[in-house]
Chain A
């Protein structure tokens, strides 16, 4: 019995090793969004194709929609763009773009070159709306439901696996919920 108390360092080691083994599978840079389950922030931004027209958060109520944050200076955005186009083509969900801290000419040129899957592109020139959404890098993608509640946030480029395993099931559930 007396000798059992000398095992505590080993127990501590075991705990630390288990922690690290689990840790190897985690990503310390990934920041979960506190907005999930909360209303999307209010916004009113000009459209990229027609700056005189404004789109606001109120306009988006009543439908499930996807907000894709992108910029012409962002390299990973190029990589995920075919997927976004595909999502729009398959009419999974209406896709709206948030053109983050970009120039109109560059943005338009980028869309012309790579294709425009967006119902509308909202221009966030100074990044303020981005901050409200908790954007800290591009690209990022949000799914917002009919009541304007944020349901999903994905940081980084979309991948087929993410679309298949996370987005599609979520869309199915949200659309079914009426």
Chain B
């Protein structure tokens, strides 16, 4: 459990590269891999940093290049990060012993909410947040995207349901002549109904399997494309067993309902009408 204190100021960093001239007393920095690639820098190179575009004059040596942890909140921003030791950064900003935020680890059993409330009461100028509150706040964007996806999914499911009903109806109606002949030779209505229903179930089941395969292929394509597009290891499309189960059950149920309705209409029609002579 931890809480964080945050002051409402942030820094702007500007970068400019210089050659490979590492020197003593120059601060070390760690560069994000993509930034190092974009600037053509490697470990040991020197670059210049500054808090604003008009004051990029402090040399620093690249001591490490790191791969940042994939963060969905960052991918669209395409921001590039540099890590410095805290005193180096504070000195560069001209504000020694000032920080943007810091984390507090609590003793076991101490409630983060209570600790945050106590800290908030003790002084003003900062705000204490629990880790859970920060996670909740920073995930708001994804909650909106998730709601949007759910709404689109509902529309897609309705469209698919109507499509499936329509196709099933047409599929069963295609069997009018077969049904008429079966009725002429004495096959019972119940048997015809059962046969048509079984056929609808088989079509729905095969469709579900093919659809699941298509979904996996589409998911694979989506992940491959967006991972390359955003240069990240994030997973964009995740097909869980629950989703597959939902899709298969829904399509089977819809297929059976549609097949059942169509088959019921067919077996209630007189054989001569089915034969086209009624």
User: Is A bound to B?
Assistant: no
Could you list which residues of chain B lie within 8 angstroms of chain A, going by C-beta atoms?
A: none
